[in-house]
Amino acid sequence: MYKKTTVERPDIPNVLDRKFTVAAPNKVWCGDITYIWAEGRWSYLAVVLDLYNRRVVGWAMSAKPDTELVVKALDRAYEMRGRPQGVLFHSDQGSQYGSRDFRQRLWRYRMIQSMSRKGNCYDNSPMERLFRSLKTEWVPTVGYMTTALAEQDIGGYLMQRYNWIRPRQHNGFVPLAVAEEKLNSVSGNC
């Protein structure tokens, strides 16, 4: 299962420090992992969220909650968002996010790393809120019959329903992606 961190990471400070209001897209991303019951066992879901409007910008599922999972979610986000640089990437102190491979990927993408304080879920509360919505609104209470079905259904929820359909109070009751599209059309960004 999960590896718990045994020490605080002073080499990766909490740069975000609960400053969840962000002025523009691709400035601050958050990441985290949760578990989903599928095919009679746990599967793991890693998600990357753009804090600007809380839009899901990357995700991945795997049978193991390892570094490869979080790197895959980050890679998807990086490509989907047009390879932005200078992004602050914030996560909890999970061993996956502190791993050499993940930190090297952030370095390659010219991203700055930030980590929550040890054991403090409020430092990454936008991720906790997303996972609560996913599990209470969407994931069947009995889980999924197959892992492939879980991936298809959860991917649809995250990238379609959560981003494009579900109204959010944070955006004046406009879906996340719609609010971002409006911003891009006003500012002339693509």
pLDDT digits over 137-171, tens only?
Answer: 999 999 999 999 999 999 999 999 998 888 777 66
90, two tokens: 């914030």
Q: Please state, in angstroms and rounded to a whole number, the distance separating the CA atoms of residues 190 and 177.
A: 13
Whether residue 43 contacts residue 149, with contact meaning beta carbons closer than 8 Å, is answered with no
pTM over 0.75: yes
Strands 41-50 and 55-62: antiparallel
Q: Tell me: the pLDDT tens digits for 18-41?
A: 888 899 999 999 999 999 999 999
Q: How many other C-beta atoms lie within 10 A of the C-beta of residue 12?
A: 18
